[in-house]
Structure 1
């Protein structure tokens, strides 16, 4: 691939990955918002869980429609819809006067996130050359972690500046002083607008176009992105797909696809029950239970966010050379050990030592270089092209349902089991994830999407790429 073609595909990936940035920003900004809202409105544990989970409910609604939208209307149009929803949500959360209205706008933003969480990795996987597909899809996770870091930084900056801005108008004063959590939520409008304008510049998925019979338009895009040689090959690879009958969900339950479906369900489930979002959503509370002040806990969250970004770079570096399976095995094993050690720190009240920070950073390292990005990489690769959007939507739906459950039960776990028991609870699921990955996960690095689909169908009981 020439340097010009490479820059083209990376630019498209960069724009699409802004959807991941917004996903991460919205997911993490709540960590700074939650303690302030809880204090202002005296929320109970269940109300606290609902404030967090309202956006997650929106994500479930969004992803439920995302598969049908992306398979029927293409990948680009649903992404434009998500950008519009992001803008509306950020403005509504910042400006709507009562808490119920804020929750409603968070649910609206969640719908956008749900759509984006399916369509962005789907879109990137379909425009990416096979030899760097893992890396490009992982950029989505990198953007997600970058959004988390920016949310932590903006939260800490706004909180530290609450008492310093004396000349603002009354509206801005309400946003950035009296109810600083509104400013935290409202900051999301900036990347949302950038995402919206960027989407106007990128093409439709060439695989979707070819699948719908627009072979000339699809091959032209492939030629521009991947080079003429690749464009000459792809029509033959897609021919049977574009001329085939309309596929349905029941294809996923065919014998050749059952293992793919099981993998697509288990990986996002284990990802959420690894405990990552307990740290993201409730980090300040967990650290507060350890006697760390709110401002200092937010600084710790910034450190966690930076570590998450840096360790995701390792996944980008190695996912197409080491492969998906080794990274996942190392990651789940390391995450389980790290969580056990984190629980021990809390159990023995060693929370003021450097060891707590080291253990949490170790968990983030293992998560960021394996569990986090690979659920998107693998799920975007293993399903048949004709129903890839719908199938990936099922996988991402599982992720959001699990995320909603984690968001709802974490305050209860913290109250009933304490911080130590909560981390051990998540460590148990990482151990189960290691076993499942060892038994089920195939290696897909370097293979075209069409080759992966063909190998599932050729070997019903044991796909060729298990070897």
Structure 2
């Protein structure tokens, strides 16, 4: 039987996991609603791309400013504020009537997402700073992002299947309902004692310390891989149901449910990451993930561009494989490494800067994938493959790639 003391010990990790699940759900749910919204509002290609990327633009600002403010004023207040954006903007998104309204509300949701991914990992890293399994717990929290995206595809697909294209309003509203569970868990969290002991007296001091020479190196080595990985990851996450529709002959709901089959590959990969991250090291898993994702996306892109007919299950398998290797390495390492490496007094700021670069990468990926896909089928995937190869090269040259038990644990 699980003791109360053990539940108390892991409760911050449980609350953080639920929070990240909620944030990832709110990222992915727009992908399910994208095609029905396009038809309902008669959106052009540019508007569809902007709507898909609105959450990423909001996340850039949410990540940067929440990191600084959480270092100055504390973690818990920011954690509560970000969930409120999901509730308010999620409900309002179901009531919109035009592009400008829904674009603005998705920006607001994005601000909340950016805040969440910064402060949750900074907070968990500090709460668990004395635990020998801190790294595994951070990876476990990130693991639940996969469930959030899967749940968005699955629930969104079912809603569209039952209600038809007009069900997109309910799909967007579900994000606010899920957020309420996270809010209830957050009410039991206490402020980070480590932050209380280490806090600096002003934002100027925080920024000055962040950009000291040795800290600038960390900003560089954490931000660039996060930027390069998110180019492929966010564009694939946001466009996956749309990508699948023409190749598997599916409806709007079928595209969403087909995306579940692709995304489910991330579950076993995430379990393997939890098992092997301290045995093989973050650097090796990151470089391996970048390389194999690049190969799979590149091969599929070339096949589609050349017009070679392949079965739908092969397309699902290759896309699933690319998600598998992303989840095995850079999906976890790019997010959790900054939270473990930066000193407490600038942990939020460092995490926020790196995440902001990641969200900019996601925005570049959405725009780039959309633009290159207009050239021909598969060209967008070739573009994503090249960015993953750059991630592999950067990791090898500037971080390392050997198999080793690495530790970047700082208080």
TM-score normalised per structure 2: 0.91
Report the counterpart of residue 195 of structure 2 in structure 1.
208
CA RMSD between the two structures: 2.4
Shift of 1:3: 7.0
Report the counterpart of residue 135 of structure 1 in structure 2.
136
10-19 or 181-190, which moves further after superposition? Answer: 10-19
> How many pairs align?
404
Q: Aligned pair 1:338/2:296, yes or no?
A: yes
Tell me if structure 1 keeps the 8 A contact 2:154–2:260.
Answer: yes
Q: Aligned pair 1:358/2:336, yes or no?
A: no
Aligned ranges 1:6-405 → 2 under 5 Å: 6-128=6-128, 129-162=130-163, 179-212=166-199, 247-273=205-231, 275-290=232-247, 292-294=249-251, 295-347=253-305, 348-405=307-364
Partner of 1:131, secondary structure, is coil
Shift of 1:179: 2.1
Partner of 1:272, secondary structure, is helix
Shift of 1:433: 1.1
Higher Cα radius of gyration: 1
Tell me if structure 1 keeps the 8 A contact 2:368–2:380.
Answer: no
53-62 or 39-48, which moves further after superposition? Answer: 53-62
Partner of 1:293, secondary structure, is coil
Provide the C-alpha distance between the structure 2 equivalents of 1:339 and 1:83, rounded to a whole number of angstroms. 34
Change (3 A) 1:290 1:79: same
Provide the C-alpha distance between the structure 2 equivalents of 1:291 and 1:376, rounded to a whole number of angstroms. 33
Shift of 1:185: 0.4
Unaligned regions of 5+ residues in structure 2, if any? none
Unaligned regions of 5+ residues in structure 1, if any? 163-176, 213-241, 451-467
Provide the C-alpha distance between the structure 1 equivalents of 2:367 and 2:269, rounded to a whole number of angstroms. 28
Q: What are the superposed Cα offsets for residues 151-193 of structure 1, whole Å, 9 maximum, x if unpaired?
A: 011111111112xxxxxxxxxxxxxx57211111001122200
Shift of 1:324: 0.7
Provide the C-alpha distance between the structure 2 equivalents of 1:447 and 1:366, rounded to a whole number of angstroms. 23
Partner of 1:249, secondary structure, is helix
Provide the C-alpha distance between the structure 2 equivalents of 1:379 and 1:3, rounded to a whole number of angstroms. 32
Q: What are the superposed Cα offsets for residues 13-68 of structure 1, whole Å, 9 maximum, x if unpaired?
A: 11122221122111211121111011122211111111112222221221231022
Aligned pair partner of 2:396 in 438, 441, 445: 438
Q: What are the superposed Cα offsets for residues 54-112 of structure 1, whole Å, 9 maximum, x if unpaired?
A: 22222122123102220122111100001111110111111244443222222211111
Provide the C-alpha distance between the structure 2 equivalents of 1:323 and 1:332, rounded to a whole number of angstroms. 15
Tell me if structure 1 keeps the 8 A contact 2:248–2:312.
Answer: no
Change (3 A) 1:285 1:5: same
434-443 or 178-187, which moves further after superposition? Answer: 434-443
Shift of 1:352: 2.5
Q: Aligned pair 1:448/2:409, yes or no?
A: yes
Provide the C-alpha distance between the structure 2 equivalents of 1:210 and 1:318, rounded to a whole number of angstroms. 33
Tell me if structure 1 keeps the 8 A contact 2:247–2:312.
Answer: no
Q: What are the superposed Cα offsets for residues 243-296 of structure 1, whole Å, 9 maximum, x if unpaired?
A: 9x98432334433233212112112111112x2222221123222343522233
41-50 or 130-139, which moves further after superposition? Answer: 130-139
Tell me if structure 1 keeps the 8 A contact 2:294–2:385.
Answer: yes
Report the counterpart of residue 171 of structure 1 in structure 2.
none
